[in-house]
């Protein structure tokens, strides 16, 4: 995915702003961005950060539970081919890695 314009755009999230999960997500995205800024990661520009968060949102449906500790996990790497995604997972609790596939035939933004 390539983001050609990483400038802010107009939006209205009023229907979701009161949700605790919305506020949690905003805090988490802010904390991740601040950490990456502190680390001065030359491999991740602000555009790359937006792409990272976008990829996370687009694969939110692809959760899989770790077989070892039942921790819910999401893919950190994905290969998408036509209507299928092969995801690579890492459990943050027990560090187990595995692969799982999902359809991409969902109503998602391009």
Domains of the chain plus CATH, in order, are 15-58 (no CATH), 62-110 (2.20.25)
pTM equals 0.77
Cα dihedral sign for 51, 17, 109, 66? positive
Q: What is the mean pLDDT of residues 16-32?
A: 96
Nearest-5° angle of CA 92, CA 94, CA 98?
A: 80
With beta carbons less than 8 A apart as the criterion, state whether 68 and 94 touch.
yes
Strand, helix or coil at 78? strand
Mind listing the pLDDT tens digit for each residue in 43-69? 778 888 889 999 999 899 899 999 999
Percent of the chain exceeding pLDDT 70 equals 90
Token pair of 9 as six digits:
């755009």
Residue with token string 């209205």:
12
Token pair of 94 as six digits:
């027990």
* C-alpha–C-alpha distance, residues 76 and 96, integer Å: 13
């Amino acid at each position: 995915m390539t983001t050609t314009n990483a400038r802010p755009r107009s939006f209205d999230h009023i229907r979701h702003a009161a949700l605790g999960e919305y506020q949690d997500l905003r805090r988490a995205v802010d904390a991740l961005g601040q950490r990456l800024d502190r680390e001065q990661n030359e491999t991740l520009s602000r555009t790359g950060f937006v792409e990272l968060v976008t990829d996370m949102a687009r694969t939110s449906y692809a959760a899989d539970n770790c077989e070892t500790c039942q921790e819910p996990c999401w893919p950190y790497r994905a290969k998408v081919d036509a209507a299928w995604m092969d995801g690579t997972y890492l459990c943050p609790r027990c560090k187990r890695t595995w692969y799982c596939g999902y359809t991409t035939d969902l109503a998602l933004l391009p």
